Amino acid sequence: MYKNHIKRLVDVVLSVLAIIVLSWLYLIIAILIKCTSKGPVLFKQDRIGKDGKVYQIYKFRSMKVGAEKSGVYSDNKDPRVTGIGRFIRATSIDELPQLFNILKGDMALIGPRPPLTYHPWKWEEYSDFQKQMFEVRPGITGWAQTHGRKDVEWNKRIELNVWYVDHVSFGLDFKIFWLTIFKILTNADNENKGETVKK
């Protein structure tokens, strides 16, 4: 019941409230991005969502336009990251536009983070076990993010995501929410240490 209906209702209600309450922050960040670097305010990128469907994820742009062509990984010394980009990444403010992804039905507040269409590997390269993580909507944060965030190797990350899908409940989502707040406030595990893909 919770997994299929109540969870979606909670996501929509909380997202609408958050967008209203944080509207002033959206405006300030948008102005700062436009004033400090050339390019759009939002960064849009194809991700794999529920049931393998590809959708565009929204983020506040934190890197120079075209930066993705130079590779996937970045750290706090990456010259591609803009000045304001370092701040919004460190505070996870860059993820806030995904509240609109939730309203569109692409995402949830809590769920497996959506991978790129080509990283860690393409859709057809996921095993049947790994594809179980796509049985629910991807989230802004999830179980794997509370167990290492960017420092977890992808096979382990997917195992954690599949575990979440098998155990999803209001209580677990509530726990993940507060663990995520702690991670954000302490900026724990929020930097790529290097490539985290092992075939």
% residues pLDDT > 70 (the chain): 89
First to last CA, the chain: 36
pLDDT in tens, 34-89: 999 999 999 999 999 999 999 999 999 999 887 776 666 566 678 899 999 999 99
> What pLDDT was estimated at residue 75?
63
Q: Classify strands 42-48 and 54-60 as parallel, antiparallel or unpaired.
A: antiparallel
Mean pLDDT value across residues 112-138: 97
Distance CA 98, CA 89 (A): 14
Mean pLDDT value across residues 12-36: 97
Query: What is the band of 101 on the pLDDT scale with cuts at 50, 70, 90?
Result: very high
> What pLDDT was estimated at residue 33?
97
Distance CA 117, CA 122 (A): 6
On whether the CB atoms of residues 106 and 55 are closer than 8 A, the answer is yes
pLDDT in tens, 118-129: 999 999 999 999
> What pLDDT was estimated at residue 175?
97
Measured CA angle at 58 (ends 55, 64), to 5 deg: 120
> What pLDDT was estimated at residue 152?
86
Q: Which residues pair with 43 in a beta bridge?
A: 59
Enumerate the domain spans of the chain. Answer: 2-186
pLDDT in tens, 151-197: 789 999 999 999 999 999 999 999 999 999 998 888 766 665 555 66
On whether the CB atoms of residues 110 and 146 are closer than 8 A, the answer is no
> What pLDDT was estimated at residue 60?
98
> What pLDDT was estimated at residue 122?
97
